[in-house]
Amino acid sequence: MKTIEVRLPYDMPREAMRARLDEALVKAREEYASAVGPIEATWEGERLKVHFSVMGMAFDGGIEVAEKELLVSINLPGMAAMFAGRIREGIEERLGGLIATAEGRA
C-alpha cells in the first residue's frame, strides 16, 4: 500500500475551512455516489477521516486542518498506486479550488 500526502496552504479562519470541507463532502457524496458508493467521513478533532471504495478497492485517508494548511493523506491500495500522480493532481485541483473559492468569500 502506498501513501500519498498533499499540503495545501490556506488563509482563513480554521472554522471556515472546516465548514468548506463539510460543504464539499456533501457535494462529493452527491456527485460521486454512482461511481464510488458511500463516502464515510467523521471528524476527529481537527482531522476529517475519510473512507470510500472504487472498483472494489478501499481507500482510507484524512484531511487535517492545521493552522494555515491542509494536510491530506490517503492510502492507495494495490493497483491504485500506479495512478498516484494523477490522484495527487486531482486532490490539488479539487481542494485548491475549494480554498480559492473560500478565500474569495472570506
Please compute the mean of the pLDDT values over residues 30-56 and round it to a whole number: 90
State pTM to two decimals.
Answer: 0.84
Please compute the mean of the pLDDT values over residues 29-53 and round it to a whole number: 91
Do the strands 2-9 and 57-65 form a parallel or antiparallel pair, or are they unpaired? Answer: unpaired
- pLDDT above 90 covers a percentage of the chain that reads 58
- Grid cell 475549494 — which residue? 98
Q: Is pLDDT above 70 for 58?
A: yes
pLDDT score at 104:
54
In the chain the first and final C-alpha atoms are separated, in Å, by: 38
Mean pLDDT across the chain, nearest whole number? 89
Strand order in the sheet with 40-44: 2-9, 69-76, 57-65, 47-54, 40-44
Which sequence spans correspond to the domains of the chain? 2-101
* 2-101 CATH: 3.30.530.20
Q: Is residue 60 classed exposed, middle or buried when 0-12, 13-18 and 19+ CB atoms within 10 A define those classes?
A: middle
Residues paired with 7 in a beta bridge: 71
Q: Is pLDDT above 90 for 61?
A: yes
pLDDT tens digits along 63-79:
999 999 999 999 999 88
- For residue 37, what is its C-alpha cell? 458508493
Please compute the mean of the pLDDT values over residues 86-103 and round it to a whole number: 82
